[in-house]
Amino acid sequence: MLRIDPGVVENVAKELYIRALKILPPDIKQGFDTLAARETAATAQNVLGTMIRNIAVAEATDNLLCQDTGIPIYNVTIGRGVELSGDDGAALKAAIRKGCERATREHPLRSSIVHPLTRANEHTSCGIGVPVIQIDHRDEIDGLRIEMIPKGSGSENNSWLKMAVPAEGIDAIKTFVIDCVLDAGGKTCPPTIVGVGVGGTADLCMHLAKIAATRPLGTHCADAEGAKLEDELSGAVNMLGVGPQGLGGDATAFAVHVELAATHITMNPVAVNMQCHSARRASAAITSAGVSYGF
């Protein structure tokens, strides 16, 4: 049995927020190299080069990759044999929230979180329902895993949901995704990761799109038909000519990711959520050996 103290979780939550804002995951850096190598438009090549230099300078000078500190999202996975000190889930969430607050005040970070009606800013990166904390359980992992994703408004503002007609089939899904990418244009700071959720209920479908958008590059939908749709859409999106920062070119998206859920016979929900080119995330594993950080 691994007993985890809330204080450890608090420190990890603080560190993850800062790490996510400052260090771009290796798969995204590789994604930039791949796009740059096959880009044919001169302007797009220059824009990609500027983005790549920005990443290098930010990391070398210990600065933020982007001024937008985003909406803080923490995805928590509890493995087998884990015992949480205190009031289990409530204590866990409280520790994460406190870590998020400390990162904002002690680093310090710009707080981007405001009350939705008064627009009042507590300057803690926290508020009603924020940070967003998702908790899951998996027997196949040891210890506790926390993933932190700062989701910027440029990408989050470009979110769509359509309750498609089942009779229109996969073509309706493809058309909707393409239309969303065109509608977003340069507003999402492309190249993007286009997250697509298909199935479930309206709320589950949007959640699936967010999971897809924040998945590491090189991963694929676990469902064979979903993986096939990913490949087809990835090729189609990069033929649209939107290009880096919407200025034209081949590199509109690193990839299109798809996540699926079963749905009702008279429904076919499809949702799109995008991740910008600064596709930031950081993770930590808390085990009997201590705390280890990664992406």
DSSP sequence for 142-153: ESEEEEEEEE-H
Q: Are residues 9 and 110 in the same domain?
A: yes
Residues in the chain: 295
Residue 89 phi, psi dihedral angles, 5° rounding: -60, -40
Q: Are residues 96 and 170 in the same domain?
A: no
Q: What angle do CA 28, 107, 281 make, to 5 degrees?
A: 20
Q: Is residue 41 part of a domain?
A: no
Q: Are residues 122 and 162 in the same domain?
A: no
Q: Domain range spanning residue 287?
A: 2-20+65-151+280-294
Number of domains comprising the chain: 2
How far apart CA 53 and CA 60 sit, in angstroms, is: 10
- Residue 277's nearest CA partner among 181, 190, 154, 184 is 190
How far apart CA 13 and CA 259 sit, in angstroms, is: 27
Q: Is residue 58 part of a domain?
A: no
Take residue 181 and report the two structure tokens written for it: 């990418």
Q: Is 235 exposed, middle or buried (0-12, 13-18, 19+ CB in 10 A)?
A: exposed
Take residue 176 and report the two structure tokens written for it: 């909707």
Q: Are residues 169 and 146 in the same domain?
A: no
Q: Is residue 144 part of a domain?
A: yes
Q: What is the pLDDT of residue 144?
A: 95
How far apart CA 18 and CA 107 sit, in angstroms, is: 8
pLDDT tens digits for range 153-200: 989 999 999 999 999 999 999 999 999 999 999 999 999 999 999 999
Provide the phi-psi class of 84: left if phi over 0, else alpha when psi is between -120 and 50, else beta: beta
Q: Decide if 274 contacts 280 (C-beta within 8 A).
A: no
Q: Are residues 224 and 173 in the same domain?
A: yes
Per-residue pLDDT of the chain (295 residues; tens, 9 = 90+): 888 888 999 999 999 999 999 999 999 999 999 999 999 999 999 999 999 999 999 999 999 999 999 999 999 999 988 887 655 678 899 999 999 999 999 999 999 999 999 999 999 999 999 999 999 999 988 899 999 999 999 899 999 999 999 999 999 999 999 999 999 999 999 999 999 999 999 999 999 999 999 999 999 999 999 999 999 999 999 999 999 999 999 999 999 999 999 999 999 999 999 999 999 999 999 998 999 999 9
Q: What is the pLDDT of residue 86?
A: 59
Q: Are residues 189 and 261 in the same domain?
A: yes
For 109-134, what is the HEC assignment? CCCCCECCCCCCECCCCCECCECEEE
Q: Is residue 72 part of a domain?
A: yes
The Cβ-side half-sphere exposure at 259, using a 13 Å CA radius, reads: 20
Q: Which amino acid is at 224?
A: A
Q: Is residue 186 part of a domain?
A: yes
Q: What is the pLDDT of residue 108?
A: 93
Residue 143 phi, psi dihedral angles, 5° rounding: 75, -155
Q: Are residues 113 and 219 in the same domain?
A: no
DSSP sequence for 33-47: HHHHHH---HHHHHH
Q: Are residues 173 and 131 in the same domain?
A: no
Q: How far is CA 256 from CA 9, 69, 164, 207, in A?
A: 33, 24, 19, 16
